[in-house]
Amino acid sequence: MSKQTLERILQSQGWGTRRYCRELVEDGEVSIAGETVSDCALKIETDNLEYTLFGETWLFREHVYIALNKPPGYECSRKPSHHPGVLSLLPEQFTLRDVQSVGRLDHDTTGLLLMSDDGTFIHTQSSPKHHVPKLYVASTHDPVTPELVTHLLRGVKLHDEPKPLAAVSCRMIDPYQIEIVLEQGKYHQVKRMLAAAGNHCTELCRTQIGKLTLDQLQLADGEWCYLDAAQLSLLSA
């Protein structure tokens, strides 16, 4: 059980500075259980707290765990340089509460992207030491051959990598498409591995992390959702 002042609760949820959150309360913008709350110093139990702000109801979340179906043309950066950032696809308060992408997908790569403000979660999901498998579907410029699949499974040598990197699994889906599972998450890894194996990646989509799939989430391009406890448990499976 945890109690916090209302102004601190609003600040922790990304609604702005303490001063701005205090003004929101004093201006009558916040209500709980249908009652307007005007005392910003009032201490409120945060467990299962629902509050209404600007006419919309929100659930207090100590941390947020988000899945986004990333469309092409967005950068996984808080300070994008050439394309819009993925944070622009989320409500503005997530930027203020320091939500970050878990790892990165290239601007032209699509699919399942995790986002959170929980540093421990981000590290666990990003670190190759935790062996979280990630499944990608890659379209290729040249036809997929059995030799290409074998090469990716045995491992390919990439520039600046001390030893060859191998796919956990790999199979041909159709003559110009493969499904490949990796654990390392190196920079441009799928594209570089395909190039090192003698082919070229023309499109790339991440469809699964751990045992959590895009199909389970049923998100259209650019849509996002909170992850519940059951869905989070699939990420470490």
User: Could you read off the pLDDT of 17-60 as tens digits, one per residue?
Assistant: 999 999 999 999 999 988 899 888 889 999 999 999 988 999 99
My answer on whether 139 and 200 are in the same domain is yes
pTM of the model: 0.90
My answer on whether 184 and 69 are in the same domain is no
My answer on whether 95 and 154 are in the same domain is no
String of DSSP letters for 31-94? EETTEE---TT-EEE-TT-EEEETTEEEE--SS-EEEEEEPTT-BSSSS-SSS-BGGGGS-THH
My answer on whether 139 and 202 are in the same domain is yes
Choosing from 39, 47, 98, 106, which is the catalytic residue?
106
My answer on whether 123 and 222 are in the same domain is yes
Q: Report how many domains make up the chain.
A: 3
Give the distance between the most distant pair of CA atoms in the chain.
Answer: 69
Map residue 101 onto helix, strand or coil.
Answer: strand
Degrees, nearest 5: CA angle 38-42-48: 100
Record the tokens describing residue 170, joined without a space.
Answer: 């790999």
**228 labelled catalytic:** no
Domain that holds residue 55: 3-59
Beta strand pairing status for 169-174 and 177-182? antiparallel
Backbone phi, psi, residue 19, to 5°: -65, -45
- The domain that holds 12 is classified in CATH as 3.10.290.10
What is the spatial distance between Cα 167 and Cα 147, in angstroms, rounded to a whole number?
14
> Any bridge partners for residue 11, and if so which?
none
pLDDT band at 103; cut points 50, 70, 90: confident
Q: pLDDT (tens digit, 9 = 90+) per residue, 106-126?
A: 899 999 999 999 999 998 888
Map residue 212 onto helix, strand or coil.
Answer: strand
My answer on whether 107 and 94 are in the same domain is yes
Q: pLDDT (tens digit, 9 = 90+) per residue, 168-212?
A: 999 999 999 999 999 887 788 999 999 999 999 999 999 999 999
My answer on whether 29 and 71 are in the same domain is no
Record the tokens describing residue 88, joined without a space.
Answer: 């622009």
